[in-house]
Amino acid sequence: MSTSRDPGRRRPRIRSVLAAVAIALTVLASTAPTVGAQGYGTLDDGTVSDSSPAPGQTVDLVIDGFLPDSQVSVVLRSDPIALGTFTADGDGVLRTSVVIPAGVAAGSHSIVASGVNAANEPVTATIAITVAAVGSGALPSTGGDIAAVLTVSVALLAAGIASMLVGRRRRGAPS
């Protein structure tokens, strides 16, 4: 028993269908809004006056893309610490100064500004910073361990002296 296909009816190839689905998904993904934390859309990262501030230091922020004259909440993360709520200007730009709180651990953190855009949709902007370590008042260590250097030096000096003495004895001995 043989099976034959109807020559007038063609079945699409699986590869062609998969390629079409992949292209459609790519198009959808490229036109969909970017979604950040908590379902918020993301804005382009703003700018910060100093990306390596120390605790207690004031930094200036400039972030564009908020609803004009809207409220923007600013938080320092990794430990969520509220830095304040500020108002975007008439052009939707947040221009403000915040203080990096004393006691914040040195290392990588983010300043996250959350508000709404011109379409009244929730949005965030994230600015990466590295909090600098607070100085202890002591001078930094710039060299190695002096005891190890002295030990190696004394050992090399002793080996050199012993080598000289052995060489003199050999020269002075009658042959």
DSSP class of residue 153 equals H
Cβ–Cβ < 8 Å for 74, 98: yes
Contact 68, 60 (CB under 8 A): no
Which residues, in sequence order, are CB contacts of 137 under 8 Å at separation 6+? none
- Identify the segments of the chain with pLDDT beneath 50: 24-39, 136-139
pLDDT given at position 42: 78
Structure-token match 């994230």, residue found: 126
The pLDDT value given to residue 19: 57
In whole angstroms, give the CA distance from residue 53 to residue 49.
9
Query: Which residues contact residue 57 at a Cβ distance below 8 angstroms, ignoring those fewer than 6 apart?
Result: 50, 99, 100
Residue whose pair of structure tokens reads 């007038």 in the numeric block = 8
* pLDDT tens-digit readout, 3-40: 555 555 555 566 665 555 555 444 444 433 433 444 46
- For residue 31, the model assigns a pLDDT of 38
Query: How many angstroms separate the CA atoms of 59 and 57, rounded?
Result: 7
* Predicted pLDDT at 11: 56
Identify the pLDDT of residue 50. 94
Output the CA torsion sign for 85, 88, 89, 93: positive
Strand 122-131 with 107-116, pairing: antiparallel
| Assigned token pair, 134 | 């607070």
Q: What's the confidence (pLDDT) of residue 141?
A: 52
Q: Which helix (H) or strand (E) holds 172?
A: helix 146-172
pTM (two decimals) = 0.56
How many CA within 13 A on the CB side of residue 42?
12
pLDDT at 157: 75
3-class secondary-structure state, position 22:
helix
Structure tokens at 71: 């409220």
pLDDT at position 38 is 46
> For 2, which DSSP code?
-
15: left (phi over 0), alpha (psi -120 to 50) or beta: alpha
Q: Residue 138's pLDDT is what?
A: 44
